[in-house]
Structure formats: structure tokens, C-alpha cells
Amino acid sequence: MKKLLLTIATTILLVMGLKAQTDLGLDNWTACQYATNLEDPNGWTSFNTANFALFGAMPQSVFKISNNTAFGTHAAMVETQKAPSSIQIPNPFRPFHNFDTIGLLCLGSIHTSPAPGMTFGQPISYWRPAQLTFSSKDSTMPGDSSYILAYLTKWNPTHLPFPKLDTIASGSFAESGNSSGWTSHTITMNYNSTSITPDSQQIFVSSSIYSRAGAKIGSKYYVDGFVWSGYNSTNDINGEKSSVNYFPNPALNEINFTSSVNANFIEVSDITGRMIGLYPMQNNKVKIQTELFTSGLYLYAVLNDKKEVVNRGKFEVSK
């Protein structure tokens, strides 16, 4: 029987081209590479792949949810299962211990060549997002807790003696207990670099604790609708004085923006911080169609060619 060795903390390879486009909303799913009777969300991986005789037939641990989702058509449910002895998963938080009881969903893929392992991460085109929002329902066993870790990273080819993946920002969230309905949460990203723009993202969803003993078989964690939003910049607003004119306000079917300084994009978010869209400007102007916007307040951020926020504000849509 082939032994699958998966190292969570030390794997720093980056997926730069998977067949299916990454879906943070968890609506689109694809059959697993080996356990083709099971599925994972596009761009994500789990130990569903290990539900295969060659790897020891680990029980299914990630499930596609089609009813009672928070957003869209599907959500994910991660359930803690017992890992077969053939699957060795070193726990970086407990030296000399393996993750023998685990439920994990993360951005990336499982590979078998040149050696079995897990590749974490997906490319990100969002510049320097300030926060990660998502919805969840928790159903953990007594004494257990679920968590989410988020990292923004950048490949450093000049690092010596070997290239490595640098962490630009990180954030985390944990909860425990039982909830019957979906709750929205926000992870604020803590940046340790004031100027570097990340080129990749890592998100880990676990249905059980990881830093100490106590993971319980049967703990369940439901997640849906991951969205990056906001913008982090050391030169936010103060770097360049500007004014922005916009009309009509309140808007009905469209709203027009004009910037007094060079501007490349306008980012629009709802009042909770969930990004609605990123709109390119031409000659410092843009017209945004709002027919599909619901009534309410919206936030905007104007970005220049250096990816700095030069103006912020809010507008209203009234139907």
C-alpha cells in the first residue's frame, strides 16, 4: 500500500495553473484526482483524494452542500475523520505528532510526482486586500473547535540559499459549539510588509483544533462565500490629495465618477465590506451600472496607478 506523506507547514510550492479556475464562493466542484466518486471545490483540495484504496481509503471528509447555503448554489461541509495509518500528516504545532484525526479543506492540490505531497496556494490578482469575509455554521464536538487560517504570500526567487515563499499578511478565526444558522465573519489581515504586493493566497479550513490534542471525530464545520475585500496601503489617502465627484446620488440605474487626479480603478463594496466589483477608469472617469444593486449604502475606494487609495467615500442606491 502506498504511503502518502503530507507536510502542512513546510510545503511552499505554489500552484500556478490548475485545470479548474479557483472558486472562493464554493459553487463549482470537480471530481477528485484519484477518488473520482468524490468532489472538491474548484481550486481547493482535501483528504477526499485519500478516499482511495491505494492511499488507505480515508473516509470522506469534505461534502458538497446544495440546500440551505449562505450564498449561491453550493457550500462546503468539513467533517473530522480518522486518518488511516498509511497517511502520515506531520503536525507542525505538535512536534513528533501526526494529524491522525483531521478534517481539512484548503486552496491547492495533492500531487504524487516527484513524491507524494500537498501543494498549497493559488494565484491572487487582488492587490493588497484588507480582509477576508465568509459565512459559517459550526457543529463541533464538545471540547473541539474549528478554525480558518488565511495567508497572503509572494514567491521570493532571490532568497539564499534557496528561493522561498514569503508571508506578506496573515489572519485567523476560530469558533466552537453549535449554530443552526449562517453567520458572517471577517478576518482582518495583518501585514508585515508595507510595500510588497502578494501574488498568491492560502486559505485553510479545519473542523478541529490543531495546536493540541483534542480533535474529535464527527466535528463539522460549514463554510461558504469567501470574498477578499478592502485595500491595505501605507499611502492610503494621505499620499495624494484628491477630490472625487459622483452623480446622481442616490443612484438608480447608474452612477458616474470623476477623479481630480490620475486614477485607474474604483472598487465598490457593500456596507459590510463585501466587494461588489472593481471598475477600470478611463481618463479618470467611469460609469458604473447599478441596475442590479439592491437599495442601500455602498463604499467606494479610488486607486491610482501605484495601487494606492487616493480617495474613499460612500454613495447610496435607491430603487
How do beta strands 87-88 and 62-65 pair? unpaired
> 4-229 and 244-317: same fold?
no
Rg (CA), the chain: 21
Over 50: is that where the pLDDT of 73 sits? Answer: yes
**CA 259 to CA 246: how far, in whole Å?**
9
Instruction: Report the pLDDT value the prediction gives residue 279, as an integer from 0 to 100.
Output: 94
The architecture CATH gives domain 244-317:
Sandwich (2.60)
Place of cell 483531521: 102
- Give residue 301's pLDDT band: very low, low, confident or very high (50, 70, 90): confident
The architecture CATH gives domain 4-229:
Sandwich (2.60)
Place of cell 463594496: 269
Quick one: three-class SS letters along the chain?
CCCEECCCCCCCCCCCCCCCCCCCCCCCEEECCCCCCCEEECCEEEHHHHCCHHHCCCCCCEEEECCCCCCCCCEEEEECEECCCCEECECCCCCCCECCEECEEEEEEEECCCCCEEEECEECCCCCCCEEEEEEEEECCCCCCEEEEEEEEEEECCCCCCCEEEEEEEEEEEECCECCCCEEEEEECEECCCCCCCCEEEEEEECCCCCCCCCCCCCEEEEEEEEEECCCCCCCCCCCCCCEEEECCCECCEEEEEECCCCCEEEEEECCCCEEEEEECECCEEEEECCCCCCEEEEEEEECCCCCEEEEEEEEECC
Structure pTM?
Answer: 0.72
Q: Which amino acid is at 182?
A: W
pLDDT in tens, 251-299: 999 999 999 888 999 989 887 667 788 899 999 999 999 999 999 889 8
Please state whether the peptide bond connecting residue 114 to the residue before it is cis, i.e. omega within 30 degrees of 0. yes
pLDDT in tens, 109-148: 876 666 556 778 999 877 788 889 999 999 999 999 999 9
pLDDT in tens, 12-33: 333 333 345 789 999 999 998 7
Instruction: Report the pLDDT value the prediction gives residue 35, as an integer from 0 to 100.
Output: 78
Task: Name the nearest CA neighbour of 168 among 210, 208, 216, 200.
Answer: 200
pLDDT-above-90 percentage for the chain: 46
Instruction: Report the pLDDT value the prediction gives residue 117, as an integer from 0 to 100.
Output: 64
Average pLDDT, the chain: 83
Cell matching residue 268: 465598490
Cell matching residue 172: 485567523
Instruction: Report the pLDDT value the prediction gives residue 201, as an integer from 0 to 100.
Output: 95
Cell matching residue 233: 496601503
pLDDT in tens, 37-62: 899 999 999 988 878 766 667 899 99
**CA 292 to CA 152: how far, in whole Å?**
31
Could you tell me the residue ranges of all domains in the chain?
A: 4-229, 244-317
